[in-house]
A and B are shown apart, each in its own frame.
Chain A
């Protein structure tokens, strides 16, 4: 069973399709959403967003490092809003380490940590 899932940033629609499971890091901790979840709305902190998505009948894992955001689950759809999101391929580990070292803004530091976590370098 799947649920329509949408991941958007102000710059673009990152993903729109069907998902079996969506896991995001809310301010209260990790939250997994399955299809037909009761209405739910929470703020997200920078962290990993993981989803099992179904494309052309095949199940695939979607993993992104995301910035601040919000997640809304309704029985018939899941929407995640984030400031920014990067995939594993987009992370430059050396550069991210530098960002983390220089970051004065806690949100920027948390996002840099999320990126390192995505690459397994934390």
Chain B
């Protein structure tokens, strides 16, 4: 049985751990609010962009944009793997990474692009060498999204990759985050134009619908990556909040158990000492 001193030391160290996890939980709670606010701020843009795309596709008589046609046959799938930069969020990152591994096996190989330091490390562990990598939390997420989109779009048009697929976390709720695999390019007509409210009739699109579409589709790709980054951010802090909450609770439980063990040990020592004294006295008076 551990001595009282050992137990006391363990309790003290657990209390320190608990304080750290509690602080991290509070920080995560504050940051998730900010991340969700950023997501909300991006919504008007998303709505307007979707609507314009819908109008364009409805108007264009014939769409011959590389982003809407199947990629080069036989070219590997291009995967953007997106995780957070930091850990301490339970299985948040490993879930996404496992999903990517599964996808890679299904496709028998894929070209990877990583956003987030954890994703970059995972790809290095797979022995794929240095693939293009960006951190999730750069000073400007928009700039990062722009660079990622430009790189994958260039590789897609040059035929190095046959499609563009995004694997990232979906922020389902505060309690649940789930990895999600999304095909970004080629864009399906259906996903691009979900609800057609009927044609608006004649729309003036200078110089041509084709041209504006060729500008809009890369922007659409860029913005989708940007909003996935915002979502990963929010989901990460939610996962971290949950993980730190559990850690704090577990530390509390352990502290309770150890405190009882320590009290027992202390009481046992006192009882033992008393017994020794009493039996010593008995021995003296008895004879």
Q: Which residues of A contact B (CB under 8 A)?
A: 6, 8-13, 26-28, 38-43, 68, 70, 72, 74, 79, 81, 83-84
Instruction: Out of A11, A39, A81, A83, name the residue touching B48 (CB < 8 Å).
Output: A81
Question: For the complex, what is the distance from the CA of A41 to the CA of B216, rounded to whole Å?
Answer: 11
What chain A residues lie within 8 Å of B55 (beta carbons)?
39, 41, 72
Q: Is B49 an interface residue (CB 8 A)?
A: yes
B 186-208 contacts with A by CB, 8 A: 200-207
13 pairs from A and B in contact (CB 8 Å cutoff): A6-B48, A8-B48, A10-B226, A11-B38, A12-B41, A26-B206, A40-B205, A41-B56, A41-B212, A43-B211, A43-B212, A79-B51, A81-B45
Contact status B201-A39, CB under 8 Å: yes
The total number of A-B Cβ pairs within 8 Å is 74
For B226, list chain A residues within 8 Å (CB). 10
Interface set, chain B 61-114, CB cutoff 8 A to A: none
Q: In the assembled complex, which residues on chain B have CB atoms less than 8 Å from the CB atom of A28?
A: 206-207
Hey, which chain B residues are within 8 Å of A11, CB to CB? 38, 41-42, 142
Complex contacts, A40 vs chain B, CB 8 Å: 203-205
Is the CB–CB distance between A70 and B215 below 8 Å? yes
How long is the Cα–Cα vector from A116 to B201 in the complex, in angstroms? 39
Q: Are A70 and B212 in contact (CB under 8 A)?
A: yes
B52 within 8 A of A: yes
CA A68 – CA B220 in complex, angstroms?
A: 13
Main secondary structure of the interface of A (DSSP, over half): strand
- Are the CB atoms of B200 and A74 closer together than 8 Å? yes
Q: Which residues of A contact B42 (CB under 8 A)?
A: 10-11
B interface residues (Cβ-Cβ under 8 A, vs A)? 38, 41-42, 44-45, 48-49, 51-52, 55-56, 59, 142, 200-207, 211-212, 215-216, 219, 223, 226-227
A6 and B204 in contact, given A43-B216, A72-B52 (Cβ under 8 angstroms): no
Is the CB–CB distance between B51 and A13 below 8 Å? Answer: no
* Closest residue on chain A to residue B59 by CB atoms: A41
Asked if A13 contacts B44 (CB within 8 A), the reply is yes
Contact A38 B200 (CB under 8 A): no
Which of the residues B52, B200, B201, B227 comes within 8 Å of A81, measured between beta carbons? B52
In the complex, the chain B residue whose C-beta lies closest to that of A13 is B44
Give the CA-CA distance A40 to B44 in the complex, in Å.
Answer: 19
Given known pairs A27-B207, A28-B207, A39-B203, the reply for A8 and B44 (CB within 8 Å) is yes
B45 contacts A42, C-beta separation under 8 Å: no
Q: Which 7 pairs from chain A and chain B are nearest by CB?
A: A39-B203, A43-B215, A28-B206, A40-B204, A8-B44, A8-B45, A12-B41
In the assembled complex, the Cα of A10 lies from the Cα of B52 at a distance in Å of 15
Decide if B45 touches A10 in the complex (CB within 8 Å). Answer: yes
Chain B residues closer than 8 Å to A26, beta-carbon distance: 206
A107 CB to nearest chain B CB (Å): 9
CA distance A81 to B47 in the complex (A): 11
Nearest-neighbor residue (CB-CB) of B142 within chain A: A10
Instruction: A70-B219, A72-B48 are known; give 4 further A-B pairs, CB within 8 A.
Output: A8-B48, A9-B45, A38-B204, A41-B212
CB-nearest residue of chain B to A45? B215
A101: shortest Cβ distance to chain B, in Å?
19
**In the complex, which residues of chain A have a beta carbon less than 8 angstroms from the beta carbon of B219?**
68, 70
